[in-house]
Chain A
Amino acid sequence: MTPLPFAPLSSGPLLAGAVLATVASLWLLLPNGRDNASIRWLGSLLGLAALAAFIAAGRRLGGLGEEAVFLIVSLVAVISAAATIVSRSPVYAAIWFALSLAGVAGVLLVLGAQFLGVATIVVYAGAILVMFLFVLMLAQPAGLAPYDRVSNEPFLSALAGAVLLGVLSLSIGRLSAGPATCCQPPSRTAGSPSTASQSTTTPSAAAGEPAPAAGDTASVPAAGMTATAVDPLAENHVARLGGELFGRHLVAVEAAGVLLLVALIGAIAVVSRGEAALAGDTTPTRSAAGRSATR
């Protein structure tokens, strides 16, 4: 079972080269006010070289098909994420961001995190980004604003992003490059003996009750629980996720729910106050407009 087809090795020079190429490529590509096609070509080539170096620094695991699909969706995610920050038009940036989210959702689906993958599309691409697009399309019907043509501090931001990327790849590579016994994240193995018995009982109360009603899957949730950490593609993925969320992490889920509710009520309060203020403001202006129209 290979949860991660590409586990980056800590092959230092290659990784360093990839990070440097990323810095240079992003710096060249970020909008700087001048439109120069050759510089953009150079930046794109450098970016591709950086991607190739990152892929070469990674370690190949897993079957051919899985690897190919993972490579495609992750390339889509990375390239469109880069295109998001370098594109001049805000509408295009939003579209690239949507494509990047689709790539991320694809990566999550390949790795077996079905719920997270689909939720990424529903929440980000389906709701938040559509709202962004709405505003962007209404806000700038013609031409680009100056703040879209020139980016602030392109070099520093590219450097900061690439350094973060390098450090993360190094640390993840070190985590997963060791012998197979240390591959399990320490938190999982440490917590599982005590919590496994708990989490087998609580979710089966929540998820086990509908399963006989459905009567289709033979797998009992209690039996499935022990396989949780091992096989992400096991049966009853969502039921087990729900059991985990509403069992061990109940307080966090409820806190998030309360936070969202507060935000909702706050938004309504702000809107209604704004409307009241607007109504108080517009009455004279409207009558003034009416007077000027009648005149």
Chain B
Amino acid sequence: MNALTPFLPTIAALVKIGLLVGGLMTAAAYLVLVERWMAAWVQDRKGPNRVGIPLTKISLFGLGQPLADGLKIIMKEDFTPRHVDKVLYTAAPLVILAASLAIFAAIPFGSVLPPLGIPGLPDPVPFLVAPGLDVGVLWVFALSSIAVYGVLLGGWASNNKYGFLGGLRSSAQLVAYEIPLGLGLLGVVLAAGSLKLDVIMNAQAQSGIWYAFAQPLGFIVFLVASFAEAARLPFDLPEAEQELVGGYHTEYSGIKLLLFLVAEFLHMVTAAFLIVIMFLGGWHLWGVTGSSQEVTWLGAFLRFGVLSAKIFAVILFFMLVRWSWPRFRFDQLMNLAWKVMLPLGIANLVTVATIEEFRPQLIERFGAGPAGVIALVAPWAVFFLGWIAAGVLTPSGTDNTPIRTHTMLDAERSLREPDLVEV
């Protein structure tokens, strides 16, 4: 025991990494199956339901499908086209997958374990790979901005017009939506007073008010921005199949394509984790999980279960949206980011900052209860005002009426008078 003691934190971190990576990879494989089921349900057909236990005739509702899919894509020839930049072509999927896995170093996947009483280990053991990292939210932000490199390099190294256009679109989109994402996140950081995600969860558990209720505008901004960051359907321009074949991974096949697809799924899982942890209370559920730091074994696993269930629900929401919404046009996408989400995010941030600044004075004047009510009502008022303003002003609205160029004469006139053309 004495010889092992200095290495115990390292061993604990390795165990957590193993559990997390194994769980995430399995979850990604099965989420593909869930997505296909969801697609089948929305389109009123039967999804994959044939593959079960290999070499038998037993089909467990198609639960063997991920295995078959994985084997198929791994066994495919790892083909590298001759016209690509070989080094960057190989590096791009590795970069994007490594970045999207490393994000989880700072993301808690539960609360804490009850004290184990092992000397050399911090008690209680947190469900977090890097508990000492004091900049958790920024770490997530930094690594999700590294993921842009995978997309950009994949598109460029493919030496293919579709791939390059997909890469450019994607990086423009990711850079644009990082700003509303950050603004939505800042409100929560300001209210919780910490950049650590576990502290943010604890703050919600202690007050019992999830930040989605305390900052509705921030929640909406963050939700939309994380859809865009994960490149899910209303924002899936980087790989719009009808326009760009496959976008930045047009030239990829086999295991490299698999890495890209897994990374994309992990982005969605990361977004779901962040939405749940920052806005939907994390492991907290009223009357079920309690809110203190002392937990029993049952409580620890209950919290883990609540967090997982919430994340699964958010992922189902992501999938449902995929089959219910049409894709944005690129100018609509940019208008939404800069003209709607950015002002709304700033409005949310200013509201939260004002409330946090004057909270002590409010409590002093009205007492704790009414002050809490004011702190809850004011953000909702701002939320509805912002909604109405966005609806009345329609800053992202575009004139979609077709240009009337029926005859050659009309065409010439419209070219001479650019007002008709400029929409």
Chain B residue nearest to A237 in the complex (CB): B134
**A122→B152 contact, CB < 8 A:** no
**B149→A130 contact, CB < 8 A:** yes
The reply to whether the CB of A260 lies closer than 8 angstroms to some CB of chain B is: no
Assembled-state Cα–Cα distance A212/B149 (Å): 40
**B153→A95 contact, CB < 8 A:** yes
Q: Among the listed A91, A122, A134, which residue makes an inter-chain contact with B171, where contact means beta carbons less than 8 Å apart?
A: A134
The reply to whether the CB of A202 lies closer than 8 angstroms to some CB of chain B is: no
Task: Report how many residues on chain B are interfacial, defined by Cβ distance under 8 Å.
Answer: 43
State whether A121 and B193 are in contact (beta carbons under 8 Å apart), knowing that A137-B164, A216-B293 are contacts in the complex: no
**Interface flags, A105-133, vs B, CB<8A=1, else 0:** 00000000011001101100111001001
Chain B residue nearest to A65 in the complex (CB): B10
The reply to whether the CB of A210 lies closer than 8 angstroms to some CB of chain B is: yes
B173 to chain A, nearest CB (A): 12
A residues less than 8 Å from B360 (CB atoms):
209
Chain B residue nearest to A288 in the complex (CB): B415
Chain B residue nearest to A116 in the complex (CB): B135
The reply to whether the CB of B132 lies closer than 8 angstroms to some CB of chain A is: yes
The reply to whether the CB of A181 lies closer than 8 angstroms to some CB of chain B is: no
State whether A213 and B135 are in contact (beta carbons under 8 Å apart), knowing that A290-B412, A294-B412 are contacts in the complex: no
**Interface flags, B286-297, vs A, CB<8A=1, else 0:** 000000010000
A residues less than 8 Å from B202 (CB atoms):
214-216
**Interface flags, B309-333, vs A, CB<8A=1, else 0:** 0000000000000000000000000
Among the stretches B60-68, B139-147, B335-343, the one at the interface with A is B139-147
B residues less than 8 Å from A119 (CB atoms):
138
Task: Tally A-B pairs: CB < 8 A.
Answer: 114
**A210→B194 contact, CB < 8 A:** yes
B residues less than 8 Å from A213 (CB atoms):
191-193, 203, 206-207
The reply to whether the CB of B88 lies closer than 8 angstroms to some CB of chain A is: yes
Assembled-state Cα–Cα distance A293/B415 (Å): 10
**A238→B134 contact, CB < 8 A:** yes
B68 to chain A, nearest CB (A): 37
The reply to whether the CB of B239 lies closer than 8 angstroms to some CB of chain A is: no
Assembled-state Cα–Cα distance A114/B146 (Å): 17
The reply to whether the CB of B45 lies closer than 8 angstroms to some CB of chain A is: no
**A209→B418 contact, CB < 8 A:** no
Which of B194, B207, B411 is most buried by chain A, counting CB atoms within 10 A of its CB?
Answer: B194
**A283→B146 contact, CB < 8 A:** no
State whether A91 and B145 are in contact (beta carbons under 8 Å apart), knowing that A214-B194, A215-B203 are contacts in the complex: no
The reply to whether the CB of A233 lies closer than 8 angstroms to some CB of chain B is: yes
State whether A118 and B138 are in contact (beta carbons under 8 Å apart), knowing that A125-B145, A217-B199, A294-B411 are contacts in the complex: yes
Assembled-state Cα–Cα distance A164/B152 (Å): 35
B residues less than 8 Å from A121 (CB atoms):
142-143, 145-146
State whether A122 and B145 are in contact (beta carbons under 8 Å apart), knowing that A114-B135, A210-B193, A233-B132 are contacts in the complex: yes
Grouping DSSP codes into helix (H, G, I), strand (E, B) and loop, the A interface class, with mixed when no group exceeds half, is helix
Assembled-state Cα–Cα distance A240/B165 (Å): 44
**B408→A294 contact, CB < 8 A:** yes
A residues less than 8 Å from B228 (CB atoms):
none
Chain A residue nearest to B415 in the complex (CB): A290
**A214→B192 contact, CB < 8 A:** yes
Grouping DSSP codes into helix (H, G, I), strand (E, B) and loop, the B interface class, with mixed when no group exceeds half, is helix
B222 to chain A, nearest CB (A): 17
The reply to whether the CB of B383 lies closer than 8 angstroms to some CB of chain A is: no
**Interface flags, B368-404, vs A, CB<8A=1, else 0:** 0000000000000000000000000000000000000
Range of interface residues on A (Cβ < 8 Å)? 35 or more
**A237→B193 contact, CB < 8 A:** no
B50 to chain A, nearest CB (A): 44
The reply to whether the CB of A239 lies closer than 8 angstroms to some CB of chain B is: yes
Assembled-state Cα–Cα distance A124/B159 (Å): 26
Chain B residue nearest to A287 in the complex (CB): B416
Assembled-state Cα–Cα distance A129/B199 (Å): 32
The reply to whether the CB of B198 lies closer than 8 angstroms to some CB of chain A is: yes
B residues less than 8 Å from A287 (CB atoms):
415-416
**A130→B175 contact, CB < 8 A:** yes
B202 to chain A, nearest CB (A): 5
**A126→B145 contact, CB < 8 A:** yes
**A236→B134 contact, CB < 8 A:** yes
Chain A residue nearest to B88 in the complex (CB): A95
**B139→A286 contact, CB < 8 A:** no
A residues less than 8 Å from B206 (CB atoms):
213, 215
The reply to whether the CB of A71 lies closer than 8 angstroms to some CB of chain B is: no
**A209→B415 contact, CB < 8 A:** no
**A214→B199 contact, CB < 8 A:** yes
The reply to whether the CB of A98 lies closer than 8 angstroms to some CB of chain B is: yes
The reply to whether the CB of A207 lies closer than 8 angstroms to some CB of chain B is: yes
Chain B residue nearest to A215 in the complex (CB): B206
**B135→A214 contact, CB < 8 A:** no
B residues less than 8 Å from A289 (CB atoms):
415
The reply to whether the CB of B107 lies closer than 8 angstroms to some CB of chain A is: no
Which positions in A face B, CB cutoff 8 Å? 65, 91, 95, 98, 102, 114-115, 118-119, 121-122, 125-127, 130, 133-134, 137-138, 207, 209-211, 213-217, 233, 235-239, 283, 286-287, 289-291, 293-294
| A-B contacts, 29 listed (Cβ < 8 Å) | A91-B156, A114-B134, A119-B138, A126-B178, A130-B149, A130-B175, A133-B149, A133-B171, A134-B152, A138-B168, A207-B193, A210-B192, A210-B356, A213-B207, A214-B192, A214-B203, A215-B202, A215-B206, A237-B135, A238-B134, A239-B193, A239-B194, A283-B418, A286-B418, A287-B415, A287-B416, A290-B412, A290-B415, A294-B412
Task: Give me the 9 closest cross-chain CB pairs, A-B, nearest first.
Answer: A210-B193, A126-B145, A290-B415, A121-B142, A237-B134, A118-B138, A122-B142, A216-B202, A114-B135
> Apart from A216-B293, A237-B134, A239-B194, what are 4 other A-B pairs with CB-CB below 8 Å?
A121-B145, A210-B194, A215-B203, A237-B135
